[in-house]
Amino acid sequence: MRPDLVIFNNMEKILIVDNEEDLIHFLRRFFSKMGYQVSACADGSSALDTLAKEQFDLILIDYKMPGLNGLDTLKEIKKLQVKTPIVIMTAFGTMETAIEAMNLVAYDYILKPFDREELSRVATDALQGNRLMKEVVSFPDEVNKASLPSKVIVRIVGSHRKMQEVYKLIGQIASKAVTVLITGESGTGKELAARAIYHHSARKNKPFLTVNCPAIPDALFESELFGYEQGAFTGAERAHLGKFERSNGGTLFFDEIGDMSLFTQAKVLRVLQEGEIDRLGGDETIKVDVRIITATNKNLKKEVSEGRFREDLYWRLKIISLHLPSLKDRLEDVPALVDYFLARFNEEYNKSIQYVDEAAIHKLTSYPWPGNVRELENCIRRAVLLNPGTVILDDHIDLEPDQESSFKKPVAFIDRSNQEELLYGYEKIIQNLEDKLDAIAPSLLRFSQKRGSGQVNILELIEKLFISRALRECGYNQVKAAKMLGISRNTLRHRIQKYSLESPGNENEVPGNNC
């Protein structure tokens, strides 16, 4: 899992709508063995009643049924504004059937009798698409908070200046139908950024499909993107709609587009220029309306100069460029990311780890993270899984030793001309503090003695007062307060819980305000 920091229920639910009992029995067994929860309806009307009461992650509908047929049922489901992907099952594998289904925004169609591998592939792809479309990605941007649902599953985390620039740009471009090029090292969260753009766009109720460029062989790339007619080549036993047609009206995300062949680049350029495609083996030009978002960990300008990437396509993609910083360039965000992952994995694995020890936080913030947020995510996942207690200690953090020893956290630069002034100010504060303590310490100690041993812990009382004052000074921003006090955010959160120092307006605070 990448820092598309996705949480989902492994028991995903599938609804089958078909009037053949034998087929329903087969599909129940097939999908149950794959780990899915399966329900079934014998006709379209009962399916609509079921969908009015219950949500599903995938719906398979037979094309030919008594009463409401598959396409009529699909129309009615779309009136309910159900976003669940729908696959049409049909024994009539014509392109006309496919086009009619796709025009009604079906995810795909599959032929009877089923090929098990094809059935598994279509269902797996549809369920993955369902997760990407339903799990809203949020970021701490005031403009978008009001439009988010009450329960946001995935967040982009970080308050570093470079991340603030990312949030601002996403907020500016999400509603515009422009092409976006997202750059950054592997593991920085490029797909998360793409999904955030999608979820805050006017196309958020239309499909969001991904194309993992390195994973598709060159020989299959064209058919995967543009589709093909039945008989277009050996093995093309049915018509197939490519991802451009299936994401019509929505968004298509090309992950690691720098790995796309020059031949396919030329085809994609034509879609961007003309807004149309040709299926393999077809003689008809099809208009498509798709927003393109791309991502790469390569230097595309260098790829252009070395002849591996088309310059005209590069400038078409680079209308808006969004760069995600490496984690080593925003180490201040590590504690907030640790908090986020800890909460996620506590829920995911039913654990109850309370906090991360200060020594462990120091270790995490002194490491270069060559694998970026993805590596940090896996590190915390491992620590949570293998930890039998309630606190993550230094020993629970497993890092690459060669990377750990070769990296030193940069020390903040202090202008030498100001050193004497800073030192004088520090000494003055210490002297002032000592004077104040001289005045009140005797009274505090006598009071504690009179109350009896263990009744009043003077050190805890002073700590509580200092933390409370720091929180008020920072408007209850925990990151700023921890920095002011010179402690980690995890330590501060532990003390806040210990002394019950939550913000008076905590119930009205915006989630992620302190991240």
pTM score, two decimals?
0.70
pLDDT digits (tens, 9 = 90+) for 249-291: 999 999 999 999 999 999 999 999 999 999 898 888 999 999 9
CA proximity to 361, closest of 498, 491, 493:
491
Residue 270 CA to residue 254 CA, distance in Å, equals 16
| CATH 3.40.50.1980 at 154-325, yes or no | no
Fold of 457-515: Arc Repressor Mutant, subunit A (1.10.10)
Asked if residue 339 has pLDDT above 70, the reply is: yes
Give me the numbers of helices (H) and strands (E) for the chain, helices first please: 21, 16
Q: Please identify which residue in the block is written with the tokens 């946001």.
A: 152
Superfamily of segment(s) 1-135? Response regulator (3.40.50.2300)
pLDDT digits (tens, 9 = 90+) for 361-404: 999 999 999 999 999 999 999 999 999 889 999 889 999 877 66
What six digits make up the tokens of 236?
Answer: 């093309």
| CATH 1.10.8.60 at 341-406, yes or no | yes
Residue pair 358/490 in contact (Cβ under 8 Å)? The answer is yes
Asked if residue 80 has pLDDT above 80, the reply is: no
* Domain ranges across the chain: 1-135, 154-325, 341-406, 457-515
Q: Across all residues in the chain, what is the average pLDDT?
A: 83
Those residues whose C-beta lies under 8 Å from the C-beta of residue 369, and which sit 6 or more positions away, are 326, 327, 328, 375, 376
Asked if residue 330 has pLDDT above 90, the reply is: yes
Strand partners, 320: 180
DSSP E strand boundaries for 232-279: 251-255, 276-278
Those residues whose C-beta lies under 8 Å from the C-beta of residue 108, and which sit 6 or more positions away, are 85, 87, 88, 122, 125, 126, 241, 246
Alpha-carbon torsion angle 424, 426, 431, 433, nearest 10: 160
Fold agreement between 1-135 and 154-325 = yes
Q: Where are the alpha helices (DSSP H) in 387-418?
A: 401-406
Strands 291-296 and 320-323: unpaired
Q: Please identify which residue in the block is written with the tokens 């077809």.
A: 282
pLDDT digits (tens, 9 = 90+) for 402-412: 766 555 554 44
Asked if residue 150 has pLDDT above 50, the reply is: no
